[in-house]
Amino acid sequence: MAGSFIVFEGGEGAGKSTQEALLAQWLQSQGRTVVRTREPGGTPAGEAIRTVLLSNEYTGLTDRAEALLFAAARGEHAAQVIRPALDAGSIVVCDRYLDSSVAYQGYGRDLGADYVRDLSLWATRNLVPDLTVLLDVDPQVGLSRVQSPDRLESEPIEYHQRVRQAFIEIAAADPGRYLVIDASQDKDAIAEQIQTRVATLLGMSR
């Protein structure tokens, strides 16, 4: 039996990690086997790449090197963690995936959405999520929740606004595979909307 691949996307401080954890707990309470993971990271090499990508030590990293490193980490992650878990029938819940690269590198860094998407599709042998939950928040609000900004969080507000707009466009182009949520709502209300959609995806009775 093949599993299901669910991804959380959104800007900084949108509450992805909180909602990812709530969904995973709920699925487990329904007797489902859940594998929780995140990007960049999720494998030993991926976590090492994450350190390079987020460290304020590497402020001069070129945009293309940045895009390649995210794709490299993602290729490792897909091959070593996500695909094996899906093949075993698990539900994989992942904090960020391919659309983060399209939004942050493709649009944010202006590298071209198609190039960046194709790079990740090549790296992952075309592994795409069954459902992506987009938590949409005004970057002013999201960034104000960030305690110690990393390299990407330190980018100017205009960059984060481009990223937000990109996520909204990506989701609008393929509504069957996206759930867009206003992340300024109460956390339990958001969790409920996510559960309803995931229950439909998995054919669960509620």
**Which of 101, 135, 164, 181 touches ligand TYD by CB under 6 A?**
101
Residues 69, 52: contact at Cβ < 8 Å?
A: yes
100 near ligand TYD, rule: CB under 6 A: yes
* Residue 152 within binding range of ligand TYD, rule CB under 6 A: yes
Q: How many CB atoms lie within 10 A of CB 131?
A: 19
β-sheet with 34-38: strand ranges across: 34-38, 91-95, 4-10, 131-136, 178-182
In angstroms, what is the minimal distance from the CB of 43 to ligand TYD? 13
CB 29 to ligand TYD: min, Å:
24
Give the nearer residue to ligand TYD in terms of CB position, either 4 or 38.
38
For residues 110-139, which are near ligand TYD according to CB under 6 A? none
Segment near ligand TYD (CB under 6 A), from 56-64, 83-91, 100-108, 167-175?
100-108
Q: Which of 94, 82, 81, 89 is nearest to 2 (CA)?
A: 89
User: Alpha helices of 81-156 — where are they, by DSSP H?
Assistant: 83-87, 98-101, 113-123, 139-144
CB-facing half-sphere around the CA of 97: CA atoms within 13 A: 26
- The answer to whether residue 9 forms part of the interface with ligand TYD (CB under 6 A) is no
Residue number, nearest CB to ligand TYD: 104
Distance in Å, CB of 199 to ligand TYD, minimum: 25
Backbone φ, ψ for residue 6 (5° rounding): -120, 130
Q: Does 70 bind ligand TYD (CB under 6 A)?
A: yes
We find the least distance from the C-beta atom of residue 17 to ligand TYD, in angstroms, to be: 6
Separation of CA 106 from chain center: 15
Binding-site ranges for ligand TYD (CB under 6 A): 12, 17, 39-40, 54, 70, 95-96, 100-101, 104-105, 152-153
